[in-house]
C-alpha cells in the first residue's frame, strides 16, 4: 500500500471527529486534505460538523471505532479511492470526557483506551499511515504543588484501580499501545498529551467549566465552581490546540511524545468573573463539591513543543473567552436548548 497520495490530496481519518476538538480539527484539515470523520455520536454531535457536510472532500461515517474499520466497506468513501491511494494520516481522538456522565461512560472509556487503540493502530499499520493519538495530562497524575511543571519525561503516579482508572490508567495503557506498535511495526506514531482546552462547540450541561459558566451567566443563575476559591487551571484555546496537533502530525518520526496546552495558570474565580463581565450578567459565584472526573492538573512543560514543533499557544484567555461568549450569544437558541 502506498504511503504517499497519488492524487491531489492526502486521505486523513479523524476518529471522534464530531466532538469538540475533533470537529475543529476536521475544519482545519479540510483545507488541505480529504477528511473521513468517524464518530459513533455517543459523545459528539452532528451539529458540530454540519457546516462541513457540504464539502466533497469531507465524509462523515457513523461508526464505533471500538470495532475494526475498513474504509472499503463504505460506498460513500469510493470517491476517496482508498483502494488505490490508501490512508496517509490517522488522528485518534475518540474517547468520552464527560465530568457529569463519567460513571455511565466508564466502559466506553475503557474500550476507547484499549480496543479502539488496537483497531486504529492496525489501520495505521495496514496503510503505513502516520498516527497521532490524543492522550491527556491525566497520565501524570496529581501535581505535587499547584505550580508543578510536567515534562514529558515525568513518569507520574496514577492509581490503576481507582474510580477514574478506566480513563486515567486507560490513557497510560493507550500510550503503551502506541509505543509498542511503533517498536514492532516501525510506524510513525505520536502521542499528544493534551491539557485542558476550551472554545466553541464544547458539550453543554456536561460539567465542563466554561460552557456551564456561560449558560449560568446568560440565565442570571449562580456561577457554580466545583472546587474552592484557590482552584487554578491552565486553559488552551481550541485553535492553538488544533495547530499543535497538525504540527505534531507533520513532524518527523523522531518526535513521539509532546505536551500541548497552556503553561499559564489562571484562577477559576477570575475566569468566572470575566464571563460575568462579558455577558453583562449579575450572577454570583458559588462553590460546590468537585465532580469525580475533575482532578487537579499541573502545568505543561512546553519546551519540547517549542523546540521541535515551533509551537506555543498564542490566544490570550481574555480573547478566547470573548470568542466563546460571542459564539454562545449568536447561537443562543441552540446554546440554550441543547
Residue 167 annotated to the active site: yes
Residue 31: CB atoms within 10 Å:
9
CA distances (Å), origin 238, targets 22, 150, 260, 271, 302: 10, 21, 11, 16, 17
Task: Kindly provide the b/e burial profile for residues 285-300, where b requires at least 16 CB atoms within 10 angstroms of the residue's own CB.
Answer: bebeeebebbeebbbb
**β-pairing verdict for 236-237 and 149-150:** unpaired
Q: Which of 91, 140, 167, 237 is catalytic?
A: 167
Q: Is the dihedral of CA 242, 14, 331, 103 positive or negative?
A: negative
Query: How is residue 43 written as a grid cell?
Result: 459523545
Q: CA–CA separation, 288 vs 204, rounded Å?
A: 18
Give the residue numbers marked as catalytic: 167
Amino acid at each position: 500500500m502506498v504511503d504517499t497520495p497519488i492524487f491531489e490530496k492526502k486521505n486523513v481519518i479523524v476518529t471522534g471527529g464530531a466532538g469538540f476538538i475533533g470537529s475543529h480539527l476536521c475544519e482545519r484539515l479540510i483545507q488541505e486534505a480529504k477528511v473521513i470523520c468517524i464518530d459513533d455520536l455517543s459523545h459528539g454531535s452532528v451539529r458540530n460538523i454540519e457546516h462541513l457536510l457540504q464539502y466533497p472532500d469531507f465524509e462523515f461515517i457513523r461508526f464505533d471505532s471500538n470495532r475494526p474499520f475498513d474504509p472499503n466497506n463504505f460506498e460513500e468513501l469510493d470517491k476517496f479511492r482508498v483502494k488505490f491511494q490508501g490512508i496517509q494520516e490517522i488522528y485518534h481522538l475518540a474517547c468520552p470526557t464527560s465530568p457529569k456522565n463519567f460513571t455511565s461512560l466508564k466502559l466506553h472509556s475503557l474500550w476507547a483506551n484499549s480496543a479502539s487503540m488496537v483497531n486504529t493502530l492496525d489501520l495505521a499499520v495496514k496503510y503505513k499511515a502516520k498516527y497521532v493519538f490524543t492522550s491527556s495530562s491525566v497520565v501524570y497524575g496529581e501535581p505535587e504543588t499547584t505550580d508543578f511543571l510536567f515534562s514529558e519525561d515525568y513518569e507520574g503516579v496514577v492509581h490503576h484501580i481507582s474510580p477514574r482508572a478506566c480513563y486515567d490508567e486507560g490513557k497510560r495503557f493507550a500510550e503503551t499501545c502506541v509505543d509498542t506498535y511503533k517498536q514492532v511495526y516501525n510506524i510513525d506514531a505520536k502521542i499528544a498529551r493534551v491539557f485542558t482546552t476550551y472554545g466553541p462547540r464544547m458539550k453543554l450541561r456536561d460539567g465542563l467549566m466554561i460552557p456551564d459558566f456561560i449558560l449560568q451567566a446568560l440565565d442570571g443563575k449562580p456561577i457554580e465552581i466545583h472546587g474552592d476559591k484557590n482552584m487554578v487551571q491552565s486553559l488552551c484555546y481550541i485553535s492553538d490546540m488544533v495547530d499543535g496537533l497538525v504540527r505534531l502530525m507533520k513532524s518527523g518520526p523522531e518526535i513521539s511524545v509532546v505536551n500541548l496546552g497552556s503553561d499559564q495558570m489562571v484562577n477559576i474565580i477570575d475566569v468566572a468573573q470575566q464571563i460575568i463581565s462579558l455577558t453583562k450578567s449579575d450572577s454570583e459565584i458559588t462553590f460546590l463539591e468537585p465532580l469525580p472526573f475533575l482532578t487537579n492538573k499541573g502545568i505543561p512543560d512546553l519546551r519540547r513543543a517549542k523546540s521541535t514543533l515551533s509551537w506555543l499557544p498564542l490566544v490570550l484567555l481574555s480573547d478566547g473567552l470573548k470568542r466563546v461568549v460571542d459564539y454562545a450569544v449568536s447561537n443562543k437558541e441552540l446554546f440554550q436548548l441543547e
